[in-house]
Copies of this chain bind each other. A is one copy, B any other.
Amino acid sequence: MALFKRFGTVLAGTALMATAAFAASHMDPAAEKAVKARQSHMTLYAFNIGTLGGMAQDKMPYDAEAAGRAAENLAALASLDQAGYWVEGTDAGSIEGTKAKAEIWSDMPEFEEHIEQLATATTALAENAGTDLDSLKASFGDVGKACGSCHEEFRVSDK
């Protein structure tokens, strides 16, 4: 996939100054915006997954329209180009206020593969979530796996 083919341009444009000794409050404004954007993106994933997960786990009644809308939102979000988000020097070891592991940058192809996996899983969910609860449940697992495996590998654990 070509998500990051212009990554060099992004890097060159941000005049990165963020280091461990030069953290959050002194972060380069462009880097700060990138971190905020990627976190906002995650918030929107969580917001829509909350609806779908509540139904998948029988914690709220199944609503075909609401499920379909949330799943389509997820698929649209997963399709957004993320080239601007992953500015080098914005990992958890370099700045405050992020859980992004340095492995995102040291193993970008693997990271991109996880993003692609989420796009595939959410597209399938968008096709099925509005049909009936069983269809939603059948597709929801792969979305959860895509989230979980990426977090496991590329997000600093809270524990």
| Cα distance, A54 to B113, chains bound together (Å) | 31
Q: Is A72 an interface residue (CB 8 A)?
A: yes
Asked if B81 and A73 make an inter-chain contact with CB atoms under 8 angstroms apart, the answer reads yes
Residues of A in contact (CB 8 Å), total 32
- Which label, helix, strand, loop or mixed, suits the secondary structure of the A interface? helix
Asked if A80 and B81 make an inter-chain contact with CB atoms under 8 angstroms apart, the answer reads no
Look across to chain B and name the residue whose beta carbon is closest to the beta carbon of A34.
B47
Stretch of A61-69, A91-99, A137-145, A149-157 lying at the B interface: A61-69
Footprint of B on A, CB under 8 Å? 6, 9-10, 13, 33-34, 36-37, 39-41, 43-44, 47-48, 50-51, 60, 63, 65-66, 69-70, 72-73, 76-77, 79-81, 83-84
